[in-house]
Structure 1
């Protein structure tokens, strides 16, 4: 076997959306798993039926949740995360809990200065009320279309919403908005990349929720930068890991993971 790979989903999307990736990585010899966030039900329907179960969890809670999962594995895994999962993947890598990591359209680490309007608008369903910091929030079809499905058709966006969208905690978004002034922000990541495994950051050029400049600036923060790679993904929005173009992204990630594993065996 080629080792373990742990996939971490982002806000508002159920972990089952990783199923095609699990099949692809398993066929390549990896032991792949996609554990959900704390409070998530086993299915989309179960999570929607109990939205209160996901409320109140913050970035560090999510990171601890996955750190505990990794502690039960026989070896350090590769961690692949999307959106907030990409931020968590970077935190796990910096903590020495992963041998390498991929962050796809990742929520910004502390230090990213860009704050495009599209990102603000995508977070508005949470930020419009301070009470949402302790609540769960479910996007509407229209909000999902703007934040996730803007680079695909309306029909596909609606199908993806029905299949994968779930309520998510509002707290992580409030934590990101406070990161600039909070010296102990949970978005803080050790940006010295000289003594940790390799990191690949991907940024969708049409992403609204995490605009490409946000992902690009995050990659540029790492110093000396020799162990961090950034790649833009043309024409893709925030749904890039689970829409009809998922395979192109997944095969890019798989090829990179294989290359890093081969390099670490030398």
Structure 2
């Protein structure tokens, strides 16, 4: 395929800055890049953002990105981190993208935790009450333990300080898909025909490689799974991220 358009999708509590290192790499290679965001994620933390995000669903975010893709002249390759990787899978199952690169993708409907740390995270959410009605922010200790665990403490604080609040409904749909009556993150595998590259950091505690691999395996030959040694959930922001971006570009150029 000729050089494609690249669309970067960020994770929960975030905005396009978390994908900026990768976007810079791809733009330096001459590719056209876009970094759309989900509804209300451009608002600063505060009452307006809280009320706007309360009750927002992953389905809303998928609708936002679908509308953006309709403005493009061609199907892009989507590079998504965490929630962005999950949204890329939903877009792929609808035939809206040419390929997807999934960086520590959030789990889809039917993916069961394989580690005690994942189960502990789910129990933590259950212990705080009806969080799906709220708009939670980031807890530094939790984020440092699960998502930034291979980074220097200073960088952990820098990233945490830039992250924002997120719809509790979105977090509910991610972690408790089995109770989601709308089955928001369900993939229709009978319609899936888009190549996907799953990149899984070996030290990711949010979606560890053992869990990510079970998700990738559901796609059969459509999916390529690669475990990246020594990397955490936010590995696109880690040192030497250009090497990871190069790996993505090399895979894209094989399509």
TM-score scaled by length of structure 1: 0.86
Give the aligned partner of residue 187 of structure 2.
189
Matches within 5 A, 1:154-233: 154-162=153-161, 164-180=162-178, 184-192=182-190, 196-222=193-219, 225-233=220-228
Cα distance 1:183–1:171, how it changes in 2: closer, same or farther (>3 A)?
Answer: closer
What's the counterpart of residue 60 of structure 1? 59
For 1:18, the equivalent position in structure 2 comes to: 19
- Structure ranking higher on relative contact order (CA contacts 8 Å, 6+ apart): 2
CA–CA separation in structure 2 for the residues paired with 1:122 and 1:242: 23
Q: Distance in 2 between matches of 1:245 and 1:138?
A: 28
Q: Distance in 2 between matches of 1:182 and 1:123?
A: 15
Tell me the CA shift for residue 51 of structure 1: 3.5
Matches within 5 A, 1:73-112: 73-112=72-111
The match for 2:145 is 146
- SS at 2:230's partner residue? coil
Looking at structure 2, the residues matched to 125 and 69 of structure 1 have their Cα atoms a distance apart, in angstroms, of: 35
Q: Which runs of 5+ in 1 are unaligned?
A: 261-266
User: Is the deviation greater in 152-161 or in 69-78?
Assistant: 152-161
| TM-score, scaled relative to structure 2 | 0.90
CA offset at residue 133 of structure 1?
0.7
CA RMSD of the aligned region, Å? 2.1
> Per the alignment, do residues 257 and 96 of structure 1 end up closer, same or farther by CA in structure 2, a change over 3 Å counting?
same
The SS at the match of 2:87 is helix
For 1:34, the equivalent position in structure 2 comes to 35
